[in-house]
Amino acid sequence: MPTAENQWLHLPLITKLRKSLQRDLPRCRVRLHHHPHLPQRQIGFMVCCKDANRNVREPLRKWSAEEEEKLCKYYNADIHKAAFVLPNFAKKALQ
């Protein structure tokens, strides 16, 4: 999972990186990670897959609600999906 930098500061770099990765990995999506220790409090990652039909926004492994609650203090399927939601300016640049 390549680091995709910060969408606020490096959008041209992120766009170029995504285009480059898509030559070999047709399914590439930017996901955001909020991190309080980073200066901009946010970093992005490229989640890529060779299978063009794979929806990386959907978790690969799914648990029942009970299992998810028992196994995970923070993570759930909705958190996974929400990580791929981008602000309009970033979404437009990456289309």
pLDDT in tens, the chain (95 residues): 445 577 777 788 888 888 888 888 888 787 777 667 766 677 778 888 899 899 988 998 889 989 999 999 999 999 889 988 888 988 898 88
Looking at CATH, the fold of the domain delimited by 3-94 is given as: Rossmann fold (3.40.50)
Q: What percentage of the chain carries pLDDT values higher than 90?
A: 19
Q: Tell me the sheet residues that pair with 31.
A: 45
DSSP string, 30-77: EEEEE-TTSTTSEEEEEEEES-TT--TTS-SS---HHHHHHH-SS--H
* Cβ neighbours, 10 Å, residue 92: 10
DSSP string, 81-95: HHTT---HHHHHHH-
**pLDDT for res 71:** 95
Extents of the domains making up the chain? 3-94
